[in-house]
A = this chain, B = another copy of it.
Amino acid sequence: MTQPQKHTWKTRLHEVIYEADTPAGKTFDVVLLILIFVSIILVMLESVAPMQAQYGDYFYLGEWIITIFFTIEYILRVISIKKPSSYIFSFYGLIDLISTIPLYLSFFIVGTNALLTIRALRLLRVFRILKVTRYIGEGNKLARALRDSRPKILVFLFAVMILSIIAGTLMYIVEGPEHGFKSIPVSIYWCIVTLTTVGFGDIAPVTALGQFIATVIMVVGYGIIAVPTGIVSAEMAKGERKEPEPQKLHMNTQVCHH
């Protein structure tokens, strides 16, 4: 920015990769976004057994093409920035690395037992989706409202935790392992399933006393659900009153390369 006349290849590359103002930069970003989505759809389709059986080879080919592109992108990002460590150890730098290496690892690790681990590692490429958040303005009101409500939400989560531990222990005593409440941790899991009104039904109270306690937990959960909503509502209403300017989902990739 200080010496705009010195347009070395490094500066130009930086502009294309890190900024979205020039036509080349915009094209780069769009191609990147498409590849991220293709890569995630590939990960998903590979996990569907009948699809993997039929199109497995194409998926493997597609993965290699994408991995090579992301490898080149990673190397270019590292060499085009003045202080490589500021990118490598940043949040997005780590995601780029984690989402690129699993396929290479499959060459170095061998053995049937290790293959399962590699398979799991390859699935981690799904984290590439977090790169998309790069293109959403981070300074938006929503995130701010959540951040401002943090102390209240912590108190709330703490209350939920205490309630679940006590209610879970009571349900374990009352219902016992013979009705699915195998241990206190499982009972606490059931309590959170109930308090959050999810209610899978894989475990459900059977005894009269257990059903009564469950009723109390549900009514309390019903009251508790009001608390975080109230917190966020109040926080957002406050924000609305303070800043009436419109807020849009905008792309902002302008990063200073110094």
Beta-carbon nearest neighbor of A51 in chain B:
B183
**B165 close to A126 (CB less than 8 A):** yes
A142 to B149, CA, bound (A): 11
Q: How many residues of A contact B (CB 8 A)?
A: 84
Would A200 and B197 be within 8 Å (CB), given that A225-B225, A229-B229 are in contact? no
A193 touches B199 (CB 8 A): yes
Q: How far is the CA of A200 from the CA of B200 in the complex (A)?
A: 6
- A202 interface hit (Cβ, 8 Å): yes
Chain B residues positioned under 8 Å from A193 (CB to CB): 199, 214-215, 218
**Would you call A123 an interface residue if the criterion is a C-beta within 8 Å of the partner chain's C-beta atoms?**
yes
- Say whether A132 faces chain B, with CB atoms less than 8 Å apart: yes
| In the assembled complex, A17 has its CB within 8 A of some CB on chain B | no
CB proximity of A208 to chain B, nearest CB, Å? 7
- Nearest B-chain residue to A137, judged by Cβ: B155
A221 within 8 A of partner (CB): yes
Interface pair A230/B225, CB less than 8 Å apart: no
| Residue A63 is within 8 A (CB to CB) of chain B in the complex | no
Report A222-258 residues with CB < 8 Å from chain B CB. Answer: 222-223, 225-240, 247-249
Chain A 157-193, CB within 8 Å of chain B: the 1/0 string? Answer: 1101010011001001100010000111110110011
Asked if B155 contacts A47 (CB within 8 A), the reply is no
Chain B residue numbers with a CB within 8 Å of A166 are 126-127, 129-130
Complex contact B229–A233 (CB within 8 A): yes
A196 at interface, CB cutoff 8 A: yes
